[in-house]
A and B are shown apart, each in its own frame.
Chain A
Amino acid sequence: MLNTVNIFEDDRPEGSDGADQMGHFVTGELDLSHGVALYLEDITVSFDGFKALNNLNLEINAGELRCIIGPNGAGKTTMMDVITGKTRPDSGKAFFGQSIDLTRLTEPEIAHVGIGRKFQTPTIFEQHTVFENLELAMKTDKRVWKSLMAWLAGDERDKIAETLRLIRLDGEADRQAGLLSHGQKQWLEIGMLLMQEPKLLLLDEPVAGMTDDETMRTAELFVSLAGKHSLVVVEHDMAFVEKLGGLVTVLHEGSVLAEGDLATVQNDQRVIEVYLGR
């Protein structure tokens, strides 16, 4: 079933929703020629003297699945804020691919170049139906005039139906999203992220509040997405992290403390100190 994910690959001819149609989104093309999807260099963010990020350096390769762990206040959420344009760094560089400078784009522009974000607490449109939530998230021209004239085409309906099945909400399509359970909301938000067809997915604690079974299925989904997409997962659940495989980066006090596979990181003396205290 997870193989169906490939429907999200762009099968339309190149340029059909490229930069020319994006109008006010002057963003440029995503250039993955050097194999780097996300590049953060010396990012510093401070709030009234408190340094939430302190010379953070991070590189995510195209198609990579990276887990970020770290104690509370390590700067994980702030890092996501910087990548998605919610917070501007005081100094440092943030590039998506080779050419897209994230520090100069707004949130919608960053969404448009292909970065999707899932919030720590599920954020969905509670007054809309599940179907409408996915429809709104779907990759398309999101300017005002197009929205006024939009009319769902058959293939678009198919795509939404496909995602509904994937996130196991096909029976709830016309239900108001606010009435879903916490786990279902998490999945709906993941589904919305998939509808966006992003190149890079930022997932902030995606399995919080899920059952073990749901957690495992989420892990499977993420693993299947890797390769075609780059994923950055922030998580506290070590079993989930283990299941995902891939490299793990440990953040502490706003900068990278350690990096490596989970076993290496877990045996790192500094990491143990940070988590267990001195």
Chain B
Amino acid sequence: MRKPLTIRILSALDKKSWIALGIFLALALVVIPVLHLNFPEDSALHVSTYAITLIGKIMCYALVAVAMDLIWGYGGILSLGHGLFFALGGYAFGMYLMRQIGRDGSYGADLPDFMVFLDWKELPWFWVGSDSFGWVAFLVMAVPAVVAFVFGYFAFRSRIKGVYFSIITQALTYAAMLLFFRNETGFGGNNGFTDFKRVLGYSITSSETRLVLFGLTAITLAATLVFAAWLVKSKFGRVLTAIRDAESRIMFIGYNPLWYKLTIWVISAVLCGIAGALYVPQVGIINPSEMSPANSIEIAIWVAVGGRGTLIGPIIGAFVVNLAKSWFTVSFPEYWLFFLGLLFIVVTLMLPQGLVGLWKKLMAKKGDAAC
């Protein structure tokens, strides 16, 4: 007996969550665009371009946080290299955006500016097809997937676990960062890609394009949430948490943890790649510093702050930490690292379940008091 997929997907979230998701989408797709376009800038109801870019950016981060939570919260595998997959997706889409500049670059050449600067005469082989949106959209998912698959296959097959795995992923993203810093690698070296003009022929700075990108990000985030909810509620999700809790038992009852870990690892990487691709046109730049170990480890703190092993937690965490970051870096730039550092310490010491766990505890207390 098999249930139709639609029913299964519907049952992934409860009624309340579906309503919340609907409200979120209505806000992102209708309310914010209306407030942005229909109210003058001096109006109290106006939503500024800055706010839209900021929220759009944080939604991309939230997507990464959900991806991280799938592998860490549910799979028990802490990756310190997720920034790599994010950046790979970003670079893949950045190639397309660079080609869309066309002859409007400062050298007015067919090749992207940095290649002219390096005195290259033609596109390197891996840039072939980068002017096609379809091919690049495929690369955005395929490149992180292939890198994650190859790395994950060897790591999980040798049963590398825990901190070892974390440190090796950190080394991986570090190595990739060094590679992308080189000019000869063919991705713009230090400066990466920037100065984009168009996407699919539309001006990248126009309000309409921004709102479409914003809405796309919101839809992707919502779809990812539903997908992730379905994933963790499926038997696959139960096997995954079982691997996290007692890997040897799961092997002796006949599951091969390698393929389970690899599947969630690749899914997580692909989600990061998509997030990176949505991030680049909104923020307008991608460079190798996205792959720095510090960036990747920051992803972990978003998840930890929100509460790992829950799906809403990482989204809350990504928003709280990044809003705090934009406020600090404007108001008290010298204290941001102190705050972030203390956040790492306080969350791990006092809030192992994150804000969601804290909320649940408070609710339970309230419930007890009411009884």
Taking Cβ atoms with an 8 Å cutoff, the residues of A that contact B are: 24, 84, 86, 106-109, 111-112, 116-117, 119, 123-128, 132, 135-137, 142-144, 147-151, 153-154, 192, 196
Contacts and interface: CB of A to CB of B under 8 A. Distances in A.
B242 A154 contact: no
B41 interface: no
A142 B245 contact: no
Q: Which of A123, A125, A135 has the most CB of B within 10 A?
A: A125
B256 A124 contact: no
Given A128-B241, A135-B235, A151-B2, A107 B251 contact: yes
A151 B249 contact: no
B249 A123 contact: yes
Given A137-B253, A151-B2, 14 more contacts: A24-B259, A107-B252, A111-B254, A117-B252, A125-B242, A136-B235, A142-B253, A143-B259, A144-B259, A144-B260, A147-B234, A149-B234, A150-B236, A196-B253
Nearest to B261: A144
Interface of B: 1-3, 8, 231, 234-236, 238-239, 241-242, 245-246, 248-257, 259-260, 263
Contacts of B250: 125, 136
A128 B243 CA distance: 11
A154 B238 contact: no
A87 to B, nearest CB: 12
A135 B238 contact: yes
Nearest to A122: B249
Given A128-B238, A147-B234, A108 B245 contact: no
Nearest to B5: A149
Contacts of B254: 108, 111-112, 142, 196
B1 A124 contact: no
Contacts of B252: 84, 107, 111, 116-117
The 4 lowest CB-CB distance pairs between A and B, nearest first, are A111-B254, A107-B251, A150-B235, A108-B256
A143 B262 CA distance: 12
Nearest to A153: B1
Given A125-B242, A128-B242, A151-B1, A111 B251 contact: yes
Given A111-B251, A151-B1, A153-B1, A136 B256 contact: no
A144 B252 CA distance: 16
A136 B239 contact: yes
Contacts of A132: 238
B238 A136 contact: yes
